[in-house]
Structure 1
Amino acid sequence: MRHYISFLLIVLTTTLISCRQDFEFEDSTGNLEFSKETVYLDTVFTNIGSSTYTLKVYNRSNKDIKIPKIQLGQGNNSKYRITVDGMMGQDNDGNGLGDGKIFDNVELLAKDSMYIFIETTIDYAEFANPEAQYLYTDEIQFFNISGAPQTVDLITLVKDAYFLFPKRDSNGSYENIPIGDDEIYGFYLDHADPNNGDEYHWTNDKPYVIYGYAAVPTGETLTIDPGAKIHFHANSGLIVGNGATISAIGALSTYDTDGTILVDNEITFESDRLEPDFSDIAGQWGTIWMSEGSTGNFDHNTIKNATVGLLIEHNAGTINIDNTQIYNCTNYGILAKTGTINGQNIVINNCGQAGLACSLGGDYNFTHCTFANYWPRPNQTPVYIDNGTTDFPVNLTAANFTNCIIYGSSSYGISLKKLNNSGITFNYNFRNCLIKFFDFGQFQNNPLYPIANTADYPGCIIAKTSMTNKPDFLNPQNNKLQIGEDSAAKGTADPATAAGTKDILGNDRTATSWDMGAYNFIIFE
């Protein structure tokens, strides 16, 4: 039996050895195929690393091949870095690590493929020119024994910017801003910063990139010019302190006949991730925080992809918000806590909790606004209002909505929470508004809502089912909230309020277009 087992082991070993064949690689003749002919690395700010982009390389032949050399066209001087099939390439600076520039004798099996990962970090100053941006290009070269190398182009748009960030002291500690009994990673703006000049005046000659929270202290005013672009890093934002002011007054942009922007005069607040994949991702930065006692004016602004677009707390003066769009916030578009707001032509959409939250009382007046909420998950609402909590009751002096559209993907456009406290006011009024409110019986006797209460909803149109009184938005999931000619909001605004005003695009409201919401109706193509 022992001899039989030994015989089987010998036969098995011999079989395995005889089946093994060493790979023989032939030099590439240049018949590689690629997933892309050009890799666009989108836009990067100077000295900020890009995302990682992918190129796939295919060997469609029946032969195992060896690519004599893969390299960047500018060699070791290239501002790109590549990783080829997990390898970092030649070590040219002697640190024991590959530089991601040049690769020798890269093997690729028959009918197989490999990945190349591409990144870049570019110093704008090395290629300075009169413009605020330029294209940086290179190529990946795949050498072969048949002739000229095959190539894949690399293209990156590079932008110069003003960078604002906390300074480090001699002990290596970074600046922080006191917030009550706590601190937050941030810094106060400077009238004479050695690199940026007057940081209380943000211009439109190049973008601003903010790290941490930029703070406007008591007695100071931050002025932002039309067309300025403000980009926040993760966990960053802007704080306007007690007794401080922000003046973010943009202007109407101009467009050609196909809707392309010719002159962009909007002030835009968004993240510093410029890749298209991040253009509509919520929660990439913190908030614009109007702290207690601050004042401000916002006109022709776009605020997008924040945690909370505008956080407004216990304001001594009025916050004026006009012609402003707020999109894609993980929590709220506007969260006001005992705030005082006058708003006209505001558009809010896609917020995880509420588009507009008027919390802890306050004084609010909104005219011709579109408060939508098409957040892809439930438990969200376009408009939420309360007058505090049992432990902290606050008067809701006014919450007036005139000629507004309040609609979304959930069943209820509004959510009202009134304290059972006779000493605390809860004054609200919706006039000539289109409001979604699908009641399934539970609100028939609730005096807060339009099913049982018409006195606080004069001239309102209530969408009680999915088939009636629809706003006819162009594409609400993608923040296109223009209304069509079949909209229930068309021609149903209060003329006394609408007459003599313009919509958010600068179009006159006339007797033929006294429409609810921020937009006059259009005919969809």
Structure 2
Amino acid sequence: MVKSKTLLKTYRLPKMPVKWMKRLNKAISLILCGVLLIGFGSCSYEPEPTTEAVNLTFSTDTLQFDTLFAERLSITKRLKIKNPTNKAVNISSIVLRNQSQAFQLTLNGRTQSSFSNQLLLPEDSLLLLVSANIDQGDENNPFVIRDYLEVVNQENSQSVVFEAWGQNAHYLSDTILDCDARWNAEKPYVLSGTVQVDSSCVLSIEPGTRIYSATQTFLVVNGSLQAEGTLENPIIFTNDRLDEPFVSAAGQWGGIVFLEDSKDNYFKHTTIKNALFGVNLNIFNPDNEPDLMMENCFVGNMAISSVISLNSDFAAINSVFYNTASGTVSHTGGGSAYYTHCTIANYFNVAREDPSAFFSDLAFDNNDNEILAPLEVQLLNSIIYGRITDEIQFFEQQEGNLNFSFSHNLFRSSISVLSENNSISNQDPEFVEVNEADFRLQENSPAIDDALPTNISTDIQGTSRGTSPDIGAYEYVEIEE
């Protein structure tokens, strides 16, 4: 066996200049001090705090929490307490003046009702984390809880206002509602889990009622849901977080699901927003009699769709379906879809391929079973528009299954036939502000005076349609600056 030889070569290193050596020694000293500081704390340095009172500064003079439902913890907000001077300050106490239990304080990882003897170095700051949790009270209307954070150094007391608006509510979680339940506007309803309307039962919702739902919450209707708001007192379905950014975020709750036994469902002057989807129909009773009728409604800002209808019958009048991450309205597997004086507009701030409106005789259920049935679609005096080239699409698996009629609409589409029957193709409807979901018409809109007169005498805002109505959910009115 032959052993290999390792050849070692000696290199002469250049001498390090003196000034570099001094820098290196200083760096080594700092590193050693850091190691010692971590291990033993022997290099720590705390300046003596001043004996004079100092006026500290705060990142805000009022820390406010928007409307919170009783017994629901808020988001955490930050309050910076700053020392603007070149002297260290000893904060002798940080405490709530009224010792309110509604506010929770966290400093340096510790959650306590108060803190004492906090050293604040020159031109440094402390970060106080604050959250709110309000107990259920006796008031039905929104109420305010207010306290004052007192920060004291050398008997100099400064304060920051803490304010939280509370709202009592009816709480429903994973429950089947009493048969023929009635909800009113006295107090909001806060839902979590799955809340069900049983078969042969009716949930009636009165004008002005507000329904707030937690994450992954679904209202499931086996019977009937009849929500009849008014222009002045609409019904609102939304998420239960009313602080930014949640108050305007899509996908904050599940949506409203209608199952096979459901019938006689009706929404009027109702807003449904910020869910995964607005309404999901799985009724399988395609008799061309609407299983769900929507009138003067707003349904949008959804993480999936506003309307999903599988082999069901749906009708909408004077309603706006808007801004969804996927297709806005989808009718598949047969049934019927009637849209009159509606605006279906998708300007959601994500890239998508699905059109604003999709109609197909074919669908697949959750078990990948094929559903194939005739689908009747009627579009009258409606706008279907958005950011992609084809905002309305059709699919017919079996010839003759798709019965489509339309007149006096405004479409964004490359399908040439959609410009027939007094309809308009690919002309911008000139909405007021799509980024703010304001789909009223501007004065130059091609939709003005171009609809077919019907017995629908007013628009979604109660404005008279007159003898020359406009296409879409809105009649044009001059916008006041």
TM above 0.5, one fold?
yes
1:274-324 CA distance string (max 9 Å, x none) = 113212211111110011131201110000001010001135352111111
Q: Give, in angstroms, the shift of residue 212 of structure 1.
A: 0.9
Q: Deviation at 1:21? A: 4.7
Q: Give, in angstroms, the shift of residue 122 of structure 1.
A: 1.5
Kindly provide the amino acid, as one letter, of the partner of residue 114 in structure 1: L
Deviations along 1:303-350, one digit per CA (max 9) or x if unpaired, are 000101000113535211111101111111000011111210110111
| Alignment match of 2:317 (pick from 322, 341, 344) | 344
Aligned equivalent of 1:60, options 63, 69, 84: 84
Using a 3 Å threshold, how does the CA distance of structure 1 residues 12 and 415 change in structure 2: closer, same or farther? closer
Report the residue type matching 2:205 in the other structure. Answer: I
Is the partner of 2:403 in helix, strand or coil?
A: coil
- Find the counterpart in structure 2 of residue 414 from structure 1: 392
Question: How far did residue 229 of structure 1 move?
Answer: 0.3
CA shift, 1:55, in A, is 1.1
Task: Tell me which residue corresponds to 1:262.
Answer: none
1:190 aligns with 2:178: yes
Sort the Cα spacing of 1:26 and 1:158 in 2 relative to 1 into closer, same or farther, 3 A.
same
Aligned partner of 1:516 in structure 2 is: 471
| Counterpart AA for 1:251 | T
Report how many residues are paired.
440
What are the within-5 Å matches in structure 2 for residues 431-510 of structure 1?
431-437=407-413, 439=414, 449=415, 451=416, 453=417, 457-463=420-426, 469-495=427-453, 497=454, 500-510=456-466
CA contact (8 A) 1:348 1:371 kept: yes
392 and 150 in structure 1: CA distance in 2 versus 1, 3 angstrom threshold: same
Q: Does 1:114 align with 2:126?
A: yes
Question: 1:219-261 CA distances to partner (integer Å, 9 max, x unpaired)?
Answer: 10010011100011111121111xx1111111111xxxxxxxx
Structure 2 CA distance for aligned equivalents of residues 346 and 234 of structure 1? 26
**Inter-partner Cα distance in structure 2 for 1:10 and 1:152:** 45
The answer as to 2:163 corresponding to 1:155 is yes
Counterparts in 2 of 1:491 and 1:16: CA distance versus 1, 3 Å:
same
SS of 1:428's partner is strand
Q: Give runs of aligned pairs for residues 13-162 of structure 1, distance below 5 A.
A: 21-27=45-51, 29-75=53-99, 77-88=100-111, 100-125=112-137, 128-129=138-139, 131-147=140-156, 149-162=157-170
Q: TM-score, normalised by structure 1?
A: 0.79
| Residue identity opposite 1:432 in structure 2 | H
CA contact (8 A) 1:351 1:380 kept: no
* Partner of residue 362, structure 2: 388
Secondary structure (helix, strand or coil) at the match of 2:104 reads strand
* Aligned sequence identity (%): 28
Q: Which amino acid aligns with 1:521?
A: Y
- In 1, the alpha carbon distance for the partners of 2:32 and 2:282 equals 76
The corresponding residue for 1:214 is 195
State the alpha-carbon separation in 1 of the partners of residues 26 and 330 from structure 2: 79
Counterpart position of 2:401:
425
Secondary structure of the 2:335 match is: strand
Q: Is the 8 A contact 1:472 1:486 kept in 2?
A: yes
Q: CA deviation at 1:436?
A: 1.1
For 1:269 and 1:310, the matched residues in 2 are separated by 11
2:228 equivalent to 1:249: yes
Cα gap change, 1:11/1:425 in structure 2, threshold over 3 Å: closer, same or farther? closer
What amino acid is the match of 1:33? T
What is the match of residue 175 of structure 1?
Answer: none
CA deviation string 1:405-453 (max 9, x = no partner): 111122222021121x23x51111221111112x4xxxxxxxxx2x1x2
**Deviations for 1:75-108, whole angstroms, at most 9, x for unmatched residues?**
3x432111124333xxxxxxxxxxx221101111
C-alpha distance in structure 1 between counterparts of 2:307 and 2:385, whole Å: 16
Q: Retained in 1: the 8 A contact 2:89–2:153?
A: no
Shift of residue 355, structure 1, vs aligned partner: 1.0
Counterparts of 1:14 and 1:238, CA distance in 2: 63
Larger Rg: 2
**Whole-angstrom CA distance in 1 between matches of 2:47 and 2:202:** 71
Would you say the 8 A contact 1:27–1:144 is kept in 2?
A: no
Tell me the distance in 2 between the aligned counterparts of 1:211 and 1:15.
54
Q: Choose the corresponding residue for 2:186, options 205, 219, 228.
A: 205
Q: Residue 182 of structure 1 corresponds to which residue in structure 2?
A: none
Give TM-score, length-normalised by structure 2: 0.86
- Measured in 2, the distance between the counterparts of 1:45 and 1:479 equals 27
SS at match of 2:435: helix
What 5-or-longer segments of structure 1 have no aligned partner? 89-99, 167-186, 192-198, 254-264, 440-448, 464-468
**Contact map agreement 2:310 2:363 (CA 8 A) in 1:** no
Distance 1:248 1:60, change over 3 A: same
Shift of 1:160: 0.6
**Aligned AA (1:483):** L
- Indicate if the aligned counterparts of 2:149 and 2:162 stay in contact, CA closer than 8 A: yes
Corresponding letter in the other structure for 1:349:
Y
Within 2, Cα distance between the matches of 1:393 and 1:53?
50
CA distance in 2, matches of 1:213, 1:78: 31
Partner deviation per Cα, 1:42-61 (whole Å, 9 max, x = no partner): 11111111111111121111
| Greater mean alpha carbon deviation, residues 426-435 or residues 313-322 | 313-322
Question: Hey, what's the Cα distance between the residues in 2 that align with 1:11 and 1:44?
Answer: 53
Letter in 2 for 1:509: R
Alignment equivalent of 1:370, drawn from 328, 343, 347: 343
Residue identity in the other structure for 1:517: G
